[in-house]
Structure 1
């Protein structure tokens, strides 16, 4: 009788583990495909954050977060995981600093020249420590692009580097 009880318990454990694995797989797939991270065609309001370059770092090797953390977009409690320009990055963000208008389309988020001065002014207002070199754009709850502040010259539109 003990063998039958042990077999039933083992069978139930196997089912529980399989069910747990199935739920984890569905959740991971759901996070991977949740929403469309691109800015749709036309003019849209996006929020922007500055990147604290002093404490942000490339997420490679032993500094790369695990699969679940990457799916959730976190390196740790206050550091966001984003992939752009061919690699992963753990970024500490300040903001949102404000809303600006970006043009969406096939090329990604584009900042028209009229917004450049506003972005630079708001970045200067909150500046402390090391100078800020880049901002992150957020649309509809998702990070969609990275913009180097050195590219904002008020003369021509700037296309953000898309976040994968």
Structure 2
């Protein structure tokens, strides 16, 4: 996949589990279905608003973790209020995402709840489409990386 022209390597990012996704392709298919229902937009709803939202809007991405492996990122393009299920609760946060999902080198990652900040220096690089990790299953590439073999 092509690199996003707006990506700034020195930015702050978020990391998030893509619960229920079997692969990057299945996540993209789900997002395409949701985008059609949401008037062409895609977002992720969370209870907590990032306190560092302004930093995230300076080229930040949401890095997706699928089946224990960080495998893709998606540009963060904004934040909006999302109405809670109970009208007496405070509004949730919509993390508005760009359309492009950019595959990254697979990095193993332990599970966690919610989202976490991710410093640029800790983020996996984008795949450049030249082969390598892109040709093997992400779980295998992540295991090889964890063993120091990749």
Give TM-score scaled by structure 2 length: 0.30
| TM-score, normalization by structure 1 | 0.28
Instruction: State the structure with more CA Rg.
Output: 1
Q: Which structure has greater helix proportion?
A: 1
Structure with bigger RCO (C-alpha 8 Å, 6+ apart): 2
